[in-house]
Amino acid sequence: MRLIDLRSDTVTQPTPAMRRAMAEAVVGDDVFGEDPTVNRLQEMAAAMMGKEAALLVTSGTQGNLVSILAHCGRGDEAIVGDLSHTYLYEQGGMASLGGVHPRVLPNSPDGTLDLAQVEAAIRPDNVHFPRSRLLILENTHNRCYGAPLSTEYIRAATDLAHRYGLKVHMDGARIFNAAIALGVDVKELVAPVDSVTFCLSKGLSAPVGSVVCGSREFIEEARRARKVLGGGMRQAGIIAAAGIVALTEMVERLADDHANARRLAEGLAQIDGYAIDVERVYTNIVYFDVVNGYTAQEIVDRAREAGVLVLPVGPYRIRAVTHYGIEATDIEEALDVFEQAVKG
């Protein structure tokens, strides 16, 4: 049975062009800075983001952590959303490995942080307090319905942070989804922030890797942090080669994933037993609730038996993510499976 795997866009398989590029990649030792394919990917990423420099890292989690370590020292404080990936899903790495104290503010459903609350959370210089050093934004916002943060919001948040001497890091794991959804150049979205991590291995379908971008000075610090975390890879051009294909060939097609997510949401809204706010489907992530007494896990198990994979993210809440390899016909098939799964 062919599975329709909607658990995440991390499950994407590399494209045939990626496999070819990986097989043929010219490589060198990247810890010496001598892998031409890694260097080319990094130059390309920096240019696309409009930043001075870039660094290939193993994952989004590593990209966020090296960025936090490059911006903050032990005892410094980072302002984060309570639904952000850096706070919820990264094992508290900023605290456990970096000694960085998270100051947690509630995320609004659109992924933003209230800027009055951010301003109030910034610490005055006082011996009792940690030093506020960093504001972390997430774009698109995974737990907030895949919502994209607008250029205007990012600029306002960054202006505020900079006014108080804080740096701003963007967890842009899905920044290209944001740019496509908003119809803006990705450069515009990241221009105000000091650093950004984006993932090659999610909607862009590369098998491994994320890229951190920022100033040359910041990237030198991030490179040191990557090394101490064991992320100094050697002939990493094998990975970078797929990343170059991802950036060249896989960005524009994200619009198909967004259209498929919308179709899925509209279909789910028609099925008795589920509740979904179709207005809150912004990109490739769909959250819906089971409202007829079944638990999310029960529906997930039933759907799996019929070949459709999704993730329970709460007692009654399910997440489905569209991506490369999922076609419009798969969405129709998944809708049939969800309809059967929720029937008595």
Q: Does 8 bind ligand TLP (CB under 6 A)?
A: yes
Of 108, 93, 94, 119, residue with least CA distance to 149: 108
Q: Does 89 bind ligand TLP (CB under 6 A)?
A: yes
Within 200-219, the residues that bind ligand TLP by CB under 6 A are 201, 210
Q: Does 146 bind ligand TLP (CB under 6 A)?
A: no
Q: Does 142 bind ligand TLP (CB under 6 A)?
A: yes
By CB under 6 A, name the one of 22, 37, 54, 60 that touches ligand TLP.
60
Which residue, judged by CB position, is nearest to ligand TLP in the bound state?
A: 60
Q: In a 3-state reduction of DSSP, which class is residue 211?
A: strand
Query: Shortest gap between Cβ of 126 and ligand TLP (angstroms)?
Result: 32
Of 73, 44, 38, residue with least CA distance to 57: 38
Q: Does 177 bind ligand TLP (CB under 6 A)?
A: no
- Residues 295 and 68: their CA atoms lie apart, in Å, by 37
Query: Shortest gap between Cβ of 148 and ligand TLP (angstroms)?
Result: 12
- Residues 149 and 188: their CA atoms lie apart, in Å, by 12
Query: Shortest gap between Cβ of 89 and ligand TLP (angstroms)?
Result: 5
Within 100-129, the residues that bind ligand TLP by CB under 6 A are none
- Kindly give the residue spans of alpha helices, DSSP state H, lying in the chain: 16-24, 36-49, 60-71, 85-88, 93-96, 115-121, 151-163, 175-182, 186-190, 216-228, 237-249, 254-269, 296-305, 328-341
Q: Does 286 bind ligand TLP (CB under 6 A)?
A: no
Interface size with ligand TLP, residues (CB under 6 A): 14
Backbone conformation region of residue 139, classed left if phi is above 0, alpha if psi is from -120 to 50, else beta: beta
Which one of 58-66, 122-130, 158-166, 177-185 is the stretch in contact with ligand TLP (CB under 6 A)? 58-66
By CB under 6 A, name the one of 35, 76, 77, 138 that touches ligand TLP.
138
Cα 258 to Cα 75, 79, 177, 178: the distances in Å are: 41, 30, 8, 10
Which residues of the chain form contacts with ligand TLP (CB under 6 A)? Answer: 8, 10, 59-61, 85, 89, 138, 142, 171, 173, 199, 201, 210
